[in-house]
Amino acid sequence: MNKIIQHIKFVILSTTTLLVLSCSSNSDLVFNEINQQFKEDNYFKARDLYLEKGRQLSKPLRYYTEALIYNAFNQLKEAEKRIDYLTERQHLIHDSLLYRLYTIKSDNAIKQYQYKTAKEATETILDNFKIYLTEKELSDYENSFKIWSALEAIPSQSIDIKGSTIIKMQKDKAGLNNLKISANNDTLNFIFDTGANLSTTSVSVANRLGMKIIPADIKVGTITGGEITAQLGICSRLLMGNIELNNVVFLVMPDEALSFPQIDYHITGILGFPVIEALKEIQITQNGEFIVPETETAYTDKSNMAMNGLTPLICLDNRHFTFDTGADLTMFYHRFYVENKEEIDTKYQQEKIGFGGAGGSKEFDGFKINHTFNIFDKEVKLEQISLLKEKIKENETVYGNIGQDIIKQFEKMTINFNHMFILFE
């Protein structure tokens, strides 16, 4: 009788163990599938996979996944809850995931203008997770630590929207949209640029607008592989139509870094993500009106915009691209080439593609190709799109960058940072 009972106990124990192992295995398999999308910065596919299979994840892996998804889709308070839960129970997840979680903690804080928290999270990475960093990443985190340390005592950016705002944008010499901003009893045109992680200006303009300059000696990489040393500037009061922003952070670069003498062109300033996101919703019309509405646009589809750090991503034709209103032309990257290599190699001749930015320009091997997007049931045809054959950054994951040549094919574009969508009409 005892042997029978022991046998039954053994069978029950073995079956339970198999179930636990099976659940663990399923959890790991699902997580690995989702995490691969995180590694590729494809938060759209990660979200869809999580909605389909997330129930199979263990609680720690579910919270980790939710933290990254909530952060990417700008639901920062929800992300913060998951981050705090896991960082207070660090034994629940592997160190490699904990490292990623602290990068999200820093990013989450930056987007809420909590510079001291961003500094502390970055410091934790530098103190405890160097084993996971490449030499380039280590340098980037050290640079970030300088930024957030310099800003930790600066009050958070705030905004007062006193009613709907309509501003007529002006095209500059490079064909980029500029908005009139006012500060220190002066008015200047700044480029509107969703692709800029931080608002940027030159030393002379920062002084002209009465910004407080904070020495930080930040290293800014250039397209030519060099570096520019920049400082930080705080604009205590910036006006834009019926909108007042306070304590706006600017990257302050040497005047020559924002000058392009070959075309007699100088960038006065750039309004980047932290300013644009604070507006919650913006609309841009074909005739050049920049609108901040009192009432947000209704939208019922899935979010087609996500944030990779401070860089907006857009999902088009099930591919993820960076979205850069400061770029005149769309450009395709290495990933697009790999996916379409046979067709591109057969149809197009390789040539040199020029690529410019702050600090100069550089040429890369590539192609000029034609491509048609399907955007909100409209065929959008582009010709002679520059395609770069090789990666221009070692951590490049997207298919390319969407620019003004797509935007201007629609009567109106709406960007909403509350519900994370880009609507073309």
- Is 221 in the same domain as 121? no
Residue 291 lies in a domain: no
pLDDT of residue 356: 62
- Is 12 in the same domain as 144? yes
Q: Backbone phi, then psi, for 335, in 5-degree steps?
A: -60, -40
The total domain count for the chain is 3
Mutual angle of helices 59-72 and 43-53, in 10-degree steps: 140
Residue 192 lies in a domain: yes
- Is 132 in the same domain as 168? no
The torsion region of residue 257 among left (phi > 0), alpha (psi -120 to 50) and beta comes to alpha
Digit-coded pLDDT (tens) for 284-320: 999 989 999 988 999 989 999 999 998 999 999 999 9
- Is 199 in the same domain as 257? yes
- Burial of 111 from C-beta contacts in 10 A (0-12 / 13-18 / 19+): buried
Digit-coded pLDDT (tens) for 209-250: 999 999 988 888 765 567 888 999 999 999 999 999 999 999
* Beta strand spans in 173-288 (E): 177-183, 186-192, 199-202, 212-221, 227-240, 243-253, 259-260, 265-266, 269-271, 281-285
- Is 106 in the same domain as 20? yes
Q: Backbone phi, then psi, for 386, in 5-degree steps?
A: -70, 130
Q: What is the distance between the alpha carbons of residues 342 and 348, in angstroms, rounded to a whole number? A: 10
Tokens of 18: 């198999």
Please state whether the predicted TM-score (pTM) of the whole model is above 0.85. yes
- Is 19 in the same domain as 145? yes
- CATH number of the CATH domain containing 237: 2.40.70.10
Mean pLDDT of 175-180: 88
- Is 111 in the same domain as 227? no
- Is 106 in the same domain as 174? no
Mutual angle of helices 135-151 and 115-128, in 10-degree steps: 150
To the nearest whole number, what is the mean pLDDT of the chain? 89
The answer to whether 152 and 214 are in contact (CB under 8 A) is no
pLDDT of residue 222: 66
- Is 328 in the same domain as 190? no
Confidence of residue 382 (pLDDT cuts 50, 70, 90): very high
Residue 298 lies in a domain: no
Last residue of a domain, one of 135, 151, 167: 151
Digit-coded pLDDT (tens) for 372-381: 999 999 999 9
Closest among 60, 57, 34, 61 to 45, alpha carbons compared: 34
Q: What is the distance between the alpha carbons of residues 151 and 213, in angstroms, rounded to a whole number? A: 11
- CATH number of the CATH domain containing 126: 1.25.40.10
Digit-coded pLDDT (tens) for 331-370: 999 999 999 999 999 999 998 887 765 555 678 888 999 9
Q: In which residue are the tokens 């969703």 written?
A: 194
Residue 297 lies in a domain: no
- Is 143 in the same domain as 178? no
Q: What is the distance between the alpha carbons of residues 86 and 99, in angstroms, rounded to a whole number? A: 11
For 343, the domain range is 305-424
Mean pLDDT of 61-66: 96
For residue 182, the SS3 value is strand
Q: What is the distance between the alpha carbons of residues 247 and 237, in angstroms, rounded to a whole number? A: 7
Residue 288 lies in a domain: no
Query: How many CB atoms lie under 10 A from the CB of residue 136?
Result: 12
pLDDT of residue 227: 80
Last residue of a domain, one of 280, 295, 318: 280
Digit-coded pLDDT (tens) for 73-102: 999 999 999 999 999 999 999 999 999 999
